[in-house]
Amino acid sequence: MRDVEYSLSDGRKRRKLLEKRLGRKVLILLGTLLIFSVLLLRVWFSSKGVELACEVDRLVAEKEALEEENRRLSLEIAKLKSPERISKIATTDLKMIRSSDAEVIVLER
């Protein structure tokens, strides 16, 4: 009878020992997965940061180019609107003449 008791308690001990080993293996696996996940997230965040920094640099360069083009176009508009240029085109290209106040007739309705 005692042999049966020993074999039952030995079986229970083995089962508990196996459960402990399995529990440790599961904990080690979960810990490893957690560490791997954290490292993977760190790499992803770092690469995303580098990508965003490159995008910011590109946008800053584009902004500066657009501001330069805006300045150039503003100067061109000012040059095209100048009264001297308009007068020159009117007299040379369009063959217009300047009128004196005596030649102007104002029609009223």
How far, in Å, CA of 59 to CA of 82, rounded? 34
Q: What does the pLDDT average to over 27-33? A: 95
pLDDT attached to residue 16: 81
With residue 109 as reference, give the H or E element that holds it. Answer: none
User: Taking the complete model, does pTM exceed 0.85, yes or no?
Assistant: no
Residue with tokens 């529990």: 23
Question: What are the CA-CA distances from residue 57 to residues 51, 53, 60, 63, 69 (Å)?
Answer: 10, 6, 5, 10, 18
pLDDT, one tens digit per residue, over 51-97 is: 999 999 999 999 999 999 999 999 999 999 999 999 999 989 998 88
pLDDT attached to residue 103: 73
Question: What are the CA-CA distances from residue 88 to residues 84, 92, 104 (Å)?
Answer: 6, 6, 21
pLDDT attached to residue 39: 97
pLDDT attached to residue 97: 84
Per-domain residue ranges of the chain: 2-98
